Structure 1
Amino acid sequence: MVDRLGPRYASTLGWLFATMVSMLFVYRPPLSLLMLFLWKVVGLLPRAVPPVVIARKYRDARASVLSAFNAALTLISLAGPTIIGIVASTDPALPSILRATTLLIPIVII
């Protein structure tokens, strides 16, 4: 790819691809098997409790766990674009305007 496009364009395309992949994890968090397991555990409440109470506890627990999980996953996944922006800003093969732009990404995120 470097032979065809040259080091400048190959580096630009590589960093753009890395940024797109890292931003994908920010906006599309994957479903976790741990979350599904937690939902099943919450559903295994004692049988003596009326079904309405079980359903209410299940719904409330699922909503709070899911919101906490999504918030934590979003905060963790923001590290990807930040690291990519900082590292890409030091790549001498990138044009100076793209280096400034990639350095701006972590500043905006932080």
Structure 2
Amino acid sequence: MTDSEMPDIVCDVDLHQEDGNTYVPNAWIEDEEITFAEQGLLVFLASFPLGRVIRPVDQRRPHPDDPPLVEMVESLKTAGYLVPDTTVDKVRYCLVHPDRLGPLPVFDPEGAL
């Protein structure tokens, strides 16, 4: 697969968003199974609302020094962040919180995550 053949990705994780900010779990930032560049792509994908289909044109935002997008997506698949979407007939992936990292933190409206 090349960057031009990238499949759609569906944001299937509901992270708290407020005032234009997305609250990403510390476990994602501290995950040693993915690189800094892959963490950046992960945060970018997670910034979309739950259920949003992120088309390949939306995914093309890597830094010029980053590895090819297709390599970063493969790494996120291996690390458990992207899983095949079985609800459609075409190839696309769902962005999820990997089971190996435990549950997502619960947002506390009093200000603590």
Query: What TM-score range do you get, normalising by the shorter chain?
Result: under 0.3
Question: How high is the TM-score relative to the length of structure 1?
Answer: 0.26
**Higher strand proportion (structure 1 or 2):** 2
**Higher helix proportion (structure 1 or 2):** 1
Question: How high is the TM-score relative to the length of structure 2?
Answer: 0.25
